[in-house]
Amino acid sequence: MISSLATQAPLPLAYYRNSPSIYKTKPSTYFPRFFSGFLGPISSPAIRPLCSKSGEVGGMASSLQNQDSISYLTQREAAEIDETLMGPLGFSVDQLMELAGLSVATSIAEVYKPSEYNRILAICGPGNNGGDGLVAARHLYHFGYKLFVCYPKRTAKPLYSGLVTQLESLLIPFLSVDELPVDLSKDFDILVDAMFGFSFHGSPRPPFDNLIQKLVHLHSCGQMQHKSPVIVSVDIPSGWHVEEGDVGGQGIKPHMLVSLTAPKLCAKKFSGPHHFLGGRFVPPTIAEKYKLQLPQYPGTSMCVRIGKPPQIDISALRENYISPEFLEEQAEADPMDQFYKWFEDAVVAGLKEPNAMALSTTGKDRKPDGSTMGPLEAPAPSGILEKIWELFKKCLNFLKNFAFPSTKYEIRAFNLSSSRMVLLKGVNKDGFVWYTNYESRKARELSENPHAALLFYWDGLNRQVRVEGSVQKVSDEESEQYFHSRPRGSQIAAIVSKQSTLVPGRDVLHQQYKELEEKYSDGSLIPKPKHWGGYRLQPERFEFWQGQQSRLHDRLEYSPQEINGKRVWRIVRLAP
């Protein structure tokens, strides 16, 4: 596919950095372009769970809290806290239920992605715990899961009737106990146990005793099956004693427990891989009264992991990407236009630092440190110095090969390319711009070999873009202008940091920073250091990658060529 090379007006990145979002969208089949600085609407966004970065590895971005340092509540304390919340503190039942259900949904989405665990059955009891399950089902539907609800003993109160109506309006099927399959493992990927909470005592009555046994049976069967549904218990695994846990050892063995407000004492007996805390509504007065030690929720998260994360089998970590196809006829004629389009999608999707890119450089003769010859390759002097030099080389060889054998591996490392993350600060028809220290390792490598490769990775959209080309410094005027647009703290840091050189300790940097901060405390202009400025990569090759199912990814490569004296871009598809 051959297309003409078109020009493109500069695209200011400052515009994008002022578009924060707590939403993470999945790519739609079409994202409207924006013109003259206006963003178009997004079609069919999927809400990002209000928890930390999701992943089957168990939410590595979650705040991990030592289980021994967390407070655990007795049944009486849990009841008193609820009474206080809904009494003097003015919370209503539906408010607490909404927050609790949202916490459960985000905890599930944190670990079990809808692409792998799509079919969810929420089994809800007649009390508040069941209401939490109904709310969670609604949120999980909007997160992209396929929901089914079993709610055999419906509560006639308006709050619960309203929750049922909301789910029915979403066409979520309600299944009676008789309609449930005998073997739940064939029809569902996740089973939400929302039957009984901390206020329950005694023995479960029909039909919940039978439902609990179905979940218990799944655990024993799951040990023999390759994959069985995961069980998520809301606050208390149904049938457990609130304080003593699974007394007889014959109860539900959930894979995930989502404690609400604070973990109950029985949570100490939980041995599953995923324990989360939700219900981000505990005011300081209650925390002080009950001496609660609760973890900090990260950012805007509605859940936080507590306890140790599960052991990770790295070989089993995989993502089955679900994305719209990226076909040749959909690609822009000019790769810069295609980059602008995908970059806009990443910004609108609210991805963190969409302008972050991996920069790979290589020194001359493939030595990224910028050196062109090792110490043994240096020209030897003549006369008596020649004999001294020969003796020195023999001693050096002895040290390398015998006294310090690891040295040869360290030297070998200098024969490889080097990579680091930097931030794109400008892009237009002339190329991609970033700023750095001109005395850094990457700068030394670029002085020897003025070619580099960039890689943008946008996880939320299952996309990456590779760009390769030649590199040159931007003008002093351009560097000066950008330097003074930075926060004053960043300007001072650029002076303090002699990038890639050895530093005695962090305190040295802080002391130098403090001295310069005081020096320029009057607001005077901070001079740009001569060793700091920008680079521009002029692209010579692009590759646009869109993740697809079963590793059949889309890869479209752009490369320039001349036809009839005119430079055009050739687009080809590469095997994944």
Q: Could you list the residues known to form a binding site, using ranges.
A: 128-132, 193, 197-203, 235, 238
Kind plus residue range of the DSSP H or E element containing 466: strand 463-473
DSSP code for 265: G
Kind plus residue range of the DSSP H or E element containing 75: helix 75-86
Cα(533)–Cα(544) distance, rounded to whole angstroms?
29
Give which of 552, 546, 537, 556 is closest to 468, Cα–Cα.
Answer: 537
Residues annotated as binding site for K(+)? Answer: 129, 193, 238
Residue with tokens 């999608």: 345
Q: What is the dihedral of CA 502, 505, 509, 511, to 10 degrees?
A: -140
Kind plus residue range of the DSSP H or E element containing 427: strand 426-428
Please name the residue ranges forming H helices in 414-526: 441-448, 476-483, 488-496, 506-519
Cα(273)–Cα(116) distance, rounded to whole angstroms?
18
Residues 191/229, Cβ–Cβ less than 8 Å: yes
**Would you tell me the crossing angle of helices 488-496 and 506-519 to the nearest 10 degrees?**
130
Residue 394: count of CB within 10 angstroms of its CB:
10
Residues 553/330, Cβ–Cβ less than 8 Å: no
Cα(467)–Cα(557) distance, rounded to whole angstroms?
10
**Chain-centroid distance, C-alpha 234:** 25
Cα(102)–Cα(512) distance, rounded to whole angstroms?
47
Residues annotated as binding site for (6S)-NADPHX? Answer: 128-132, 197-203, 235
Do strands 418-423 and 190-194 pair parallel, antiparallel, or not at all (unpaired)? unpaired
Cα(542)–Cα(180) distance, rounded to whole angstroms?
52
Cα(46)–Cα(113) distance, rounded to whole angstroms?
13
Query: What are the φ/ψ torsions at residue 382 (nearest 5 degrees)?
Result: -110, 175
Give which of 182, 187, 274, 193 is closest to 229, Cα–Cα.
Answer: 187
DSSP code for 175: -
Cα(204)–Cα(197) distance, rounded to whole angstroms?
12
